[in-house]
Structure 1
């Protein structure tokens, strides 16, 4: 049994609340255990300079952790005058994950800004952000599609993420903070509903790991992502019907 009573291959309870804020085209509160993240998707009718005139869109992300999302207050980046390396890394992986399942040409010259704000952290904030951000992205894209239908609906597949690791020589799924802080191996996995990998971030924090360890962690990760995508589908219900169809 684990710290919170789960089995080694069991994810934490998931709750996804859509339309969580008033103004954003897509907004979600995602809760995975005690980790809580607000994800919003905002649409701009322009693209970055490097895409101007190319007829395709862009998706970019900003990630932030509120000062008391953690047990000890975290100083805001604006107070330090710079974004720390961890924040930059997480922003980039969220953006890559979302872009991996979107036909950017089908979007036209629009930018979707995705903001992920951690209001309570207990491990897995980047993976929860990816999973929640995808639902917010779908809501934003659907509003565009209902207003002016895309020739090709741009979202091609579901995408989600989960953490896995080895703690006290036990391979585990969906680590909470105490498990993550003690992990011999720590890994984040991003996958699509089609079973394809988008990104694997794995590190032997305390010691190397074997090929057998890697294969088992990937298996656990796939199981957890299937659970998370099921929760995304349950949350979106009929609003997910266009995904992967091209809007036809």
Structure 2
């Protein structure tokens, strides 16, 4: 399945218009042994998201009747233009990796009824196979589908009564590109745009219009309220396309499991 936003506005080096996100596909069931999994592709960025279920919670949550959803994130050594060292070989995770996996976990917990989940842990492993910008956003968007499929499996196994999701969550990067004097707001930055952006932001939004998190940074010059409003508008348009892709992927997977 592939989704792409409508084009309008000024062009970009990639040929996309300002509000046009990259082609998106979400392939469910990519990791055969995981309770839920997808391979999400957003342009040249590809992330494998796998959900694993464990019948226990961290010590700080024991005997509280609450479940836990967490995430781990990593990039393959040649996911980028030059080889990066494996963090396992260094013996510790980078600050960037820790920040991203915490963001993914927070984003997913925002749409889970943890009481209805019960005392179990679901870990979302998000492994970047190819990186072309927006890896954390693709991870969040794909992880929601993998989580949904894992929960649906628990329902089929009669472990829980119903899927304890209270909404959809997806993420997209938007930024100001072009000249410092006349920057243009664009949606879904690829690597070339992100590395040269005047300002960039990651928006984590829910299908119901809620804001889970916004990470916005001026890379060259400060941006104003109007420019932030432009970025927010593009983020909402872009995530609507992502929400549709998520729903289609879930429906496809559930149909296959029922066959």
TM-score range, shorter chain: over 0.9
- Report the more deviating stretch, 228-237 or 136-145: 228-237
**Shift, 1:197, TM fit:** 0.5
**Unmatched 5+ stretches in structure 1:** 242-248
Question: Is residue 2:92 matched to residue 1:82?
Answer: yes
Pairing partner for 2:101 from 91, 101, 110:
91
1:182 corresponds to: 196
Residue 80 (structure 1) shift:
1.7
Contact kept in structure 2, 1:61 and 1:116, CA below 8 Å: yes
Tell me what 1:203 maps to.
Answer: 217
The alpha-carbon deviation at position 150 of structure 1 amounts to 3.1
Name the structure 2 match of 1:245: none
Q: Distance in 1 between matches of 2:253 and 2:29?
A: 13
Aligned to 1:73: 83
Question: Deviation of residue 186 (structure 1)?
Answer: 0.8
Residue in structure 1 matching 2:31, options 12, 21, 39:
21
Aligned to 1:225: 239
Q: Which residue in 2 is equivalent to 1:216? A: 230
CA shift in 2, pair 1:130/1:148, >3 Å: same
Corresponding residue to 1:173 among 187, 203, 215: 187
Contact 2:155 2:162 in 1 (8 A): no
Deviation at 1:3, TM superposition (A): 2.0
Q: Counterpart of 2:13 in 1: which secondary structure?
A: coil
Q: Scaled by the length of structure 2, what TM-score is found?
A: 0.91
SS state at 1:95 partner: helix
Give the CA deviation at 1:66.
0.3
User: Which of 148, 153, 157 is 1:143 aligned to?
Assistant: 153
Q: What's the counterpart of residue 40 of structure 1? A: 50
Distance 2:163 2:147 in 1: 13
| Residues 1:102 and 2:112 are matched in the alignment | yes
- 1:40 Cα offset (Å): 0.1
1:124 is matched with: 134
Residue 113 (1) aligns with residue 120 (2): no
